[in-house]
Structure 1
Amino acid sequence: MAGFRDLIGKGHTPTLFMAFLYFDMSFMVWTMLGPLSTEIAEALALGGHIMTAGEKATLLSLPILSGALLRILLGFGVDKLGAKLTALLAQAVVITSLLTAYLQGNSITYETLLLVALGLGFAGASFAVALPQAGQWYPAKLQGVVLGIAGAGNIGVVIDFLFAPKIAQYYGWESVFGVGAVMAIIVFIAYAFLAKNAPESVYKANPKKLKDYLKLLRDKDTWWFNLFYAVSFGGFVGFAGYMKVYLMNTYQTDMSAFGSDFLNESNVKVVAGYFGALCIFAGAVLRPVGGAIADKLGGIKSLYIFFGIVTLLAMLNATVTLPFGVAIVVLFLIMANLGMANGAVFQLVPQRFGKDIGIMTGIIGAAGGLGGTALIKTLGWSKGAFDGYAAGFTIFAIVVLVAISGISLVKTRWRTTWGVQAGGRI
């Protein structure tokens, strides 16, 4: 089993660290609207705009959607311009978006927020830069743990849920965007000095033409990976983005009582942030563990395990009204297994598409973002149509079952074709 100690003396540690830090900061600002959704809605209401359930779902899903589509664009950038320049250009757009929200503050309109949300999509698209930049420095047998470390930057959303509501409580929601902008500028400068593209002796860039990208899209394995990542990462980022809305709509009374008794916290929005952070933390921190497990057991077997557990738990949440404490445990385990599944998927991707890892990370990452967008809209629709989330969780469980069926259809072919010479266990 490839472990963290196997990385010593290999690759380029500063680049691996900056890939993690860049993705961490990017993921933090990408999902910033989620933990601030209640505060932003209240600010808009004071200005005369009452957000409907559909508008709230649209605002929360727009960064996920734009991030998904922009991953393809940044995947092109990695192949054409190199990972470092692509990252710096994307970060500049993100910083501009954060400053826009901060400077306009409570005078901001819903339409301007939508533009900010689009700009934050460049942060979500950082996935298509950070992972290939880290992976290009390391051999195939270490891809699971390396890409797991870089991808664990999605722990940034945990930071959002822990601190954003508290900062907003004392200084206003717009101050969170100001803090985010300062942090993004600091990371921008550190990244410019420390991160490096892999030299040709380690990784030889192979820029593609448009027809080459179209060829990849015609490869059926591309679409299988799209499905698996739409479920794993889409599930993770979708639940993360909608977590506060879900908790506030379903367990507001329970959180209020819990906060008064145990946390000495009267602001239920902050308490919701704490519990959301707890659940999201599991998925974020366990991503490299999932990659390491996949290195040992093989990505296919690992996905069977992770997806199977998610299916059972999602159906449990859909069919039974769970007490608050049990619901938190279930959400924690769902996020944990989705996070590990993310690592398992990207243990397989570089083994199948090693020569095209830049654009493939963009394409598959885009599918993950689209999956997250669909999940947020599905949960919003479920709440609006049935005043509950049972339908949303049921639909998600069915989609995960479809992914499990897909694994069964491809596993033999994968193991007897490209898997034979992949360099790692599949």
Structure 2
Amino acid sequence: MESNSFRIKGSPMTGLIMATFGFFIGFAAVSLYGPVAKNLKEILGLSGFLLGLLVAAPNLTGSLLRIPFAAWVDKAGGKIPLTTLLVLSVIGMGGLSTLLYFYYPNLEPWMYWLILFFGFLSGCGIATFSVGIAQTAYWFPENKQGFALGIYAGVGNLAPGLFGLVLPFALKEIGLTTSYILWFGFLLVGTVIYILFAKDAPYFQLIKSGIPRDEAIIRAKEKGQELIPTGSLIESLKNSARHIETWALVALYFTSFGGFLALTGWFIVFWVESYDMEVRHAGLLMAFGFSLLASVIRIFGGWMSDKIGGELVSIVAFGMILIGALIVISGGNTNFSVSLAGEILMGAGMGIANGAVFKLVPKYVPHATGGAAGWVGGLGAFGGFVVPPILGIFVQNFGISGYSKGFIVYVLLSVMAIIISGLLWKAYGKEINKPIEEL
């Protein structure tokens, strides 16, 4: 094939739509066990720690796999890594659906570990986040990345809230087993659609067609692609790891996005156990008061970061999380209105902070965006796995009041994040972002 005859397929909008779609269908696994946590706790006789571990299970693979898979984007483009993660998630959902079909509700205690394993596999779909972040960033010029990434993450982040909202109602109407079988079918069909229609950014298409790298760079830039990968998977991880800014963003994301992952599953448990609420009503509160709110407002966080800088937006957002956590603690397990207000404020703060943090990734590490997205998205999202078992320990030690007291964890994390954001703003914000008066 002559190099000049090759035509690039797709467009930035197509790239954004398909990356968002792939992330949406995979990310739903965040709410995999939250709505059924009480059922499984009673059937399997789980302690608070084991319950928290089960709710958090998908977030382990969903966080750690982001690191190598996001860096893989710098080498292969986004389609192959994202497809691989979706296929692994399909296998996990298929295994879970099969187990429930044959054994639910007569589950044996030893099956907890099998359910946990299928949760780990299903969580591979959560790791699509960092892959899609890098895939989207390569399609768009820098001055449009904040808004594009805000749309990508905002729409994709709707999945846990929507599934956490729908699943409790489905459980009541058609039963647990049928609900999960339908979820498996949705994931399978969605994976096929992504494979058929997703396209890599111009540079990767050109390289795969056999065009020399120098020519591919020129032609990709002519198509509007500003970010060009500079090395292999390992090199991308190494290059991004050398930047202290990468690790600062990891800490911020551990609080904001790790917090989002953890509380999307945990808030349903919180409402059911603290206020003896039906799981359907708890799902509504989690979805509208936290998950969907955080997802939609993330777009605003990315847009504001384009305007005044991600560092400044982060300071405000983490302050909101801090205040929200204090409000939840003060509400205890007796003041519903106060607890709900705290949940809403935390959801808004986490959503805005998520948009702000990832606006900074391609700015601080432009030559290894995939690797940086892997570290930040992977280790940052690890908070979604670490925190729920800790919250479960508070329940074990303090009983019902432990559900509110556990939010002291987010008070401490928020204070840390505000300090780091302030240091970044002082050191880099005024250099990288336009001063407010120039906007």
Tell me the TM-score normalised to structure 2 length: 0.85
Which residue pairs with 2:382 in the alignment? 370
- Aligned CA distance change for structure 1 residues 80 and 295 (closer, same or farther; 3 Å): same
- Aligned CA distance change for structure 1 residues 229 and 247 (closer, same or farther; 3 Å): same
AA in 1 matched with 2:371: I
Deviation (angstroms), 1:209: 5.5
Of 196, 199, 212, the residue aligned with 1:196 is: 199
Q: Percent identity?
A: 26
Contact 1:33 1:60 in 2 (8 A): yes
Contact 1:70 1:121 in 2 (8 A): no
Matches within 5 A, 1:187-336: 187-200=190-203, 201=220, 202=225, 203-208=227-232, 210=234, 212-252=236-276, 255=277, 268-279=278-289, 280-321=291-332, 323-336=335-348
Aligned-pair RMSD on alpha carbons?
Answer: 2.2
AA in 1 matched with 2:152: A
Contact 2:133 2:373 in 1 (8 A): yes
SS of the counterpart of 1:120? helix
The C-alpha deviation readout for 1:363-398, integer Å capped at 9, x for no partner, is: 101122211222212211111111223442122111
> Unpaired runs of 5+ in structure 1?
1-9, 256-267
Task: Provide the C-alpha distance between the structure 2 equivalents of 1:312 and 1:236, rounded to a whole number of angstroms.
Answer: 16
Tell me the TM-score normalised to structure 1 length: 0.87
2:179 matches 1:167: no
Which residue pairs with 2:54 in the alignment? 59
SS of the counterpart of 2:65? helix
Contact 1:232 1:338 in 2 (8 A): yes
Matches within 5 A, 1:74-113: 74-105=69-100, 106=104, 109-113=111-115
SS of the counterpart of 2:230? coil
Task: Provide the C-alpha distance between the structure 2 equivalents of 1:157 and 1:409, rounded to a whole number of angstroms.
Answer: 33
Task: Provide the C-alpha distance between the structure 1 equivalents of 2:60 and 2:366, rounded to a whole number of angstroms.
Answer: 26
Which residue pairs with 2:35 in the alignment? 35
Contact 1:310 1:337 in 2 (8 A): yes
The C-alpha deviation readout for 1:293-352, integer Å capped at 9, x for no partner, is: 111121111111111121112112223436213322321121011011100111111111
Deviation (angstroms), 1:206: 3.2
Contact 1:68 1:124 in 2 (8 A): yes
Which residue pairs with 2:215 in the alignment? none
Of 396, 402, 423, the residue aligned with 1:409 is: 423
- Aligned CA distance change for structure 1 residues 84 and 415 (closer, same or farther; 3 Å): same
Task: Provide the C-alpha distance between the structure 2 equivalents of 1:24 and 1:299, rounded to a whole number of angstroms.
Answer: 24
> Unpaired runs of 5+ in structure 2?
1-9, 204-219
Matches within 5 A, 1:314-393: 314-321=325-332, 323-387=335-399, 388-393=402-407
Contact 1:11 1:138 in 2 (8 A): no
